[in-house]
Amino acid sequence: MRKQLLFLVSGWFAAFGSAAQTPTQTIKPRLTNVTVYLNGSALEHEGQVTLAAGLNRLVVGNLSPRIDAQTLEVRLGEAAELLSVSDDDDEAPPPKLLNQTAADSLVRAETELRTIEGELQGLQQEKAFLLANQTLPSGTQANWSAEVQKGSALMRTRLPLIQQETEQLKTRQELLKTQTNKLRPRATETSLGSWQVLLVRAPRPLTVTMSVRYFVRTRMPWYPKLDIRADAPGRVVEFVPHGLVRNSTGLPWQQVRLVLMRHAQGEDVSRPDLEPWSLDFDGGDHIGEGRIDEFVVKGTAKGRPVEVSQGTRYEVPELVTLAPGARRELTLPSVKLAGRPEYLAVPRLSEHVFLQSKVSGWEGLQLPERAKVFHQGMFVGDTELNDRAYNDSLEVALGHDELLVVGRAKLEDYSGNVPLSDKRRVRLTYELNVRNRHTETVRLRLLDQIPISEEKEISVKVLEMSGAQLDARSGKLTWLLTVPSGASQRLRFSFQVDYPKDKKVEIINHQVRISNPKFR
């Protein structure tokens, strides 16, 4: 048993000794692929490696100095066996700075920063000394006038100078800090970048393709944007995705394949668990989702559920070259979709009529929260997008339309007692006027509302709606109009509110009739 143990131990030392004597081979695989997420970049290097039979020590350089070592993945094929990965080895070649000028500038800036810090500390101590010696020492009362004059003159002249010098030094200090932050990534880049030492075993001499993948975590390496361009009638809507990409990997990109991802690389991949969904009267002390009768899925109930297959991967068609720290605006392939133009007016809130296009087939798009809208080649403004609405169409706002005119006026505002009752009554009548100055027929969605009661003692009754659709839960009135060219339409709605005489309701006004100008 002792002989067998000695044999194993001696064999282990022999293997270790042969590994220690293995010559180091330096490999710098080329950066070939970069996948940019919202919170960092995934890098992939490839290169050919010639291995000898037995143990091989490979120093792999040209990796990002900001590598997250925990994400490192090395592939050598099936023939070679990877035994260990380390970033600490005495035989690694010394790195050589790629930008000596930046390194020298960094040294000068850091030296000046230390000098400024010392001068600021000295000025602070001088100011504290002057303020601490404002009281005359004992025994100087006989000639106090001369001493006070000397002290006041010193305080009057020196303290403002100290303040001025301090502000100048702090301004220079902030400038140098910004400069050093910009210089440090370039000044610390080396010929090897970051490096890793691999111990590889090969059964025979062979040449394999080595692939090295890892993640570099940075803040917002690319900012996704979207332009929406629509033709004059809004029947063709083009989605043009683009974004500002920044090379924050610390390595130069030389003809790399670039992929942009519209999400962050997640750290927590554990599955979520549903917690109890409880109901109560006042919400308690926790943050809830509002009243149960107000909880609705965003979108309309008339929409049809769709299989949401949002594309989050954008492949840049051409190879990209970008220096470390440099930025580049990339425009990605656009998508043209059919739109159904529709006009929207809410005269109670705005005198403008809004043009929007309902886009079909949007489900495959990956939409940001906001987009810039261009109509007929001109920028009209920003719009919010909600790609989580489960509808068969996506509404895209295209701006105001001045050829549709919508007016709103109050025809009746009555307030009085209800005969033989303890109630008072308010009756209101409004008229909406629409004129189409387009040369073609248009579709208009017109919105208004009636009040809703949250008290059982207050009743609301609709008297007239002119064919509007009423949402009883919210009080919203909707008219879907088809207005011919040059035509006008008038719509009227009225309601009454009954409530106890001893209560006050904010809707009360005087009895008055207001004439409404009509569109002829």
Whether the Cβ atoms of residue 515 and residue 466 lie closer than 8 Å to each other: no
Nearest-5° Cα angle at 453, 511 to 411: 30
**The pLDDT value given to residue 254:** 93
Q: Residue 196's beta-bridge partner residues? A: 60
Going from the first residue of the chain to its last (520 residues), give the mean pLDDT of each consecutive group of 10, the final group possibly shorter: 38 44 82 93 93 90 86 87 76 59 83 89 84 63 61 76 88 88 69 76 91 90 87 85 88 92 71 62 50 42 38 81 89 84 88 85 71 86 66 76 89 84 88 91 91 83 92 90 92 90 61 38
Closest by CA position to 290, among listed 280, 300, 275: 280
pTM to 2 decimal places: 0.55
Q: Residue 328's beta-bridge partner residues? A: 245
Give the separation between CA 250 and CA 323, rounded to whole angstroms.
9
The backbone torsions φ and ψ at residue 31, rounded to the nearest 5 degrees and listed phi first, read: -75, 120
Give the separation between CA 91 and CA 93, rounded to whole angstroms.
6
Give the separation between CA 204 and CA 210, rounded to whole angstroms.
17
What H or E segment, with its residue span, contains residue 374?
A: strand 370-375
Whether the Cβ atoms of residue 223 and residue 234 lie closer than 8 Å to each other: no
The sheet with strand 512-513 has its strands ordered as 459-464, 488-500, 423-436, 404-417, 512-513
Whether the Cβ atoms of residue 392 and residue 304 lie closer than 8 Å to each other: yes
Give 281's contacts (C-beta < 8 A, 6+ positions apart).
Answer: none
Give 359's contacts (C-beta < 8 A, 6+ positions apart).
Answer: 237, 337, 338, 339, 393, 394, 395, 396
CB burial of 405-427 (b: ≥16 within 10 Å; e: otherwise) equals bbbbeeeebbbeeeeeeebbbbb
What's the token pair of residue 171?
């301004």
Whether the Cβ atoms of residue 352 and residue 447 lie closer than 8 Å to each other: no
**The pLDDT value given to residue 340:** 85
**The pLDDT value given to residue 355:** 87
Whether the Cβ atoms of residue 240 and residue 331 lie closer than 8 Å to each other: yes
Residue type at position 352: H
**The pLDDT value given to residue 14:** 43
3-state SS track over 414-426:
EEEECCCCCEEEE
Residue type at position 142: A
Give the separation between CA 260 and CA 40, rounded to whole angstroms.
11
The whole-angstrom distance between residue 191's C-alpha and the CA centroid of its chain comes to 35
What H or E segment, with its residue span, contains residue 432?
A: strand 423-436
Give the separation between CA 98 and CA 145, rounded to whole angstroms.
67
**The pLDDT value given to residue 144:** 56
Whether the Cβ atoms of residue 136 and residue 148 lie closer than 8 Å to each other: yes
Sign, CA torsion 47/52/54/55: negative
Closest by CA position to 196, among listed 400, 2, 59: 59
What's the token pair of residue 459?
């009743």
3-state SS track over 212-236:
EEEEEECCCCEEEEEEEEECCCCCE
Torsion of CA 472, 478, 480, 486, to 10 degrees: 150
What's the token pair of residue 155?
């305080």
Residue type at position 221: P
**The pLDDT value given to residue 255:** 95
The backbone torsions φ and ψ at residue 471, rounded to the nearest 5 degrees and listed phi first, read: -95, 100
